[in-house]
Structure 1
């Protein structure tokens, strides 16, 4: 047997090693991006943190639409009639500029000025710590490597015992070690999927969603009684579904997918 350790004792040592390496990986994950600087994210920036560029642009377009400057044209085109609302975010102004002549939603997203506004916004979020840098993301991936090392040790133990014709312990020890090796490798694989947002950003989104829980689509708010700011906050935090409730035709033109944003049917309701 590997190192001359009995099966049950090796399994206990293995579990201790898994616990230690898992704690290390989770600690690195939790501490990466936990500090920020600068101003808190705006509504459009919150939308980017929630679901990247697509949602940020949809929130920006909703701001223009609620400001009364977006017109729906023929052949699924959009245009503007009037200046953007005062104090609009740079991305909103870029969207407004792109619509000075009728455009489809795909053409708006491909507009160079919109792309530049998005890149500047992302740069600001990275600089202030809300989004992770490539170096921070690599650090999180490296932090998961000890898990794969521990899994390799367990697999080596099993292979060594099989090749040498020795026993790695009783059936329970062998089965337990095999399951632990598989679980360790799966945990490492799962933790390799690192988020783009830092810990501070995820904490902010959780806090904002709790603070605005009454705007969650599952609560079915009466949007006719809500302000524009509440609608935009709901979209930024919970996705674009609220726009379907107040302006379904416009929502369709800006790429809101009814099937993708539809709430899941409870299991009990499906059975009925």
Structure 2
């Protein structure tokens, strides 16, 4: 006579799996919808209203914004670099500089190295001001919004932990948990996708894509004649296409200033793949696809497909 083990946690497998799937679908779909709305942003109708440093922050964050300022100042002859890698002022600031330009130039007067700029108090304050302006325009996300976007992933993580624990306990008591284990796979993928939070909205990504198309002649691979361009165009080249632009424009300065040779990839490839929610919500359909097993018809040994 075969004696079946008691139901894990006193809940029959099919019942647990049915409600687990419901919770998974609600969490994944709800998180996807929330992200889709939160990451929409405000469309940019006038691309000329975005300065090079704003473009740089949206494209690569704080460090690229600093390098963009440094590129514009170098093209204007306002900064240089010693062989010992320290920045030096090369001349007065040009007209129309930004607070970040002023902070970087001030750092150069104190002999800081380029890798130290992002940690400088004046530069840090200017970067915060730059980010806050983009947040107000609906193009960037502040820390509070990014933390809010991660709450969905946190809840999915909790649900995952419950599912793993249920499967482990069920298997240790010889209860079948195959369908529950299959459900955990798409849920884990959704957790990984939702845990990635970009610093820009979809509107900013669209604006970057359009700016890259409009200014394709600034690509280092196109061998632009930087000597004929002003500081603003040089800075925009760095903002859109990375510090490879600085190496093309002034390799001696880039080497002395220890600027990394970094080329930015596709404008749409940074962190927003899950922002629209479509790919992530697809994960929920994989979960809901398990409903056929929740009725217990495909479970042996008394219907223990949920452990």
Indicate the TM-score class for this superposition, using the shorter chain for normalisation.
0.7 to 0.9
- 1:128 deviates by 3.1
Q: Is the 8 A contact 2:132 2:142 kept in 1?
A: no
Question: Is residue 34 of structure 1 aligned with residue 40 of structure 2?
Answer: yes
Which SS does the other structure have where 2:186 is aligned? helix
- 1:108 deviates by 4.7
- Pick the aligned partner of 2:143 from 134, 141, 158: 134
Which SS does the other structure have where 1:249 is aligned? helix
Counterpart-to-counterpart distance in 2, 1:252 and 1:78? 12
TM-score (norm 1): 0.73
TM-score (norm 2): 0.66
- 1:232 deviates by 2.3
In the other structure, the counterpart of 1:270 is none
Counterpart-to-counterpart distance in 2, 1:49 and 1:64? 20
Residues 252 and 29 from structure 1, CA distance in 2 versus in 1: closer, same or farther, beyond 3 angstroms?
A: farther
Residues 94 and 154 from structure 1, CA distance in 2 versus in 1: closer, same or farther, beyond 3 angstroms?
A: closer
> How many residues align structurally?
251
In the other structure, the counterpart of 1:206 is 209
In the other structure, the counterpart of 1:60 is 69
Residues 244 and 158 from structure 1, CA distance in 2 versus in 1: closer, same or farther, beyond 3 angstroms?
A: same
In the other structure, the counterpart of 2:225 is 224
Structure having the higher helix fraction is 1
- 1:246 deviates by 1.8
In the other structure, the counterpart of 1:21 is 27
> Following superposition of structure 1 onto structure 2, how do residues 253-268 of structure 1 map, counting pairs within 5 Å?
253-258=256-261, 261=263
Counterpart-to-counterpart distance in 2, 1:60 and 1:152? 46
Listed one character per residue, the Cα deviations across residues 57-116 of structure 1 (whole Å, up to 9, x for unaligned) are: 111111111112333434223322432222122211222233346543356555433232
RMSD: 3.6
- Pick the aligned partner of 2:99 from 75, 90, 101: 90
Q: Is the 8 A contact 1:46 1:236 kept in 2?
A: yes
Unaligned stretches of 5+ residues in structure 1 = 169-173, 264-272
In the other structure, the counterpart of 2:255 is 252
Which SS does the other structure have where 1:35 is aligned? coil
